[in-house]
Amino acid sequence: MKKILLIGLALSALVSCRGSTSRDTPIFGIRNMYDQPRYDVQEESSFFADHRTMRPLVDGVVSTSEDTDPQIAQGRLDDESGYVLEIPKDVVTRMGGMQALTERGRARYGIYCVPCHDNTGSGEGMVRKRAVASGAAAFVPPTFHQDRIQHMPDGQLFATITNGKSNMPPYAMQIPVNDRWAIVAYVRALQVAHPKMATSAPPAPTNSSVAPGGSPSAPASGQHATQPTGAPAPAAHPPEHK
Asked whether the CA dihedral 227, 233, 238, 242 is positive or negative, the reply is negative
Q: What pLDDT, on a 0 to 100 scale, did the predictor assign at position 112?
A: 95
Q: What is the mean pLDDT of residues 77-86?
A: 93
Please write the tens of the pLDDT for every residue from 41-57: 788 888 889 998 888 87
Q: In this predicted model, what pLDDT tens digit does every residue of 137-151 receive, in sequence order?
A: 777 888 999 999 999
Closest CA relative to residue 156, chosen from 78, 226, 212? 212
Q: For domain 83-197, give the CATH superfamily.
A: Cytochrome c-like domain (1.10.760.10)
Residues 154, 85: contact at Cβ < 8 Å? yes
Summarize pLDDT for 99-157 with one digit per residue, the tens: 999 999 999 999 999 999 999 999 889 988 888 888 877 778 889 999 999 999 999 99
Round the average pLDDT of the chain to a whole number and report it: 78
**Interatomic CA distance for residues 225 and 84, integer angstroms:** 6
Asked if pLDDT for residue 232 goes beyond 70, the answer is no
Q: Is a pLDDT exceeding 50 seen at residue 96?
A: yes
Q: Is 16's pLDDT higher than 90?
A: no
Of 32-36, 182-186, 197-201, 226-230, the range with the lowest mean pLDDT is 226-230
Rg (CA), the chain: 26
> What's residue 105's pLDDT?
97
Residue 80 has pLDDT above 50, yes or no: yes
What contacts 33, CB < 8 A, 6 or more positions away? none
Q: Tell me, what DSSP letter sits at residue 165?
A: B
Share of the chain above pLDDT 70, in %: 71
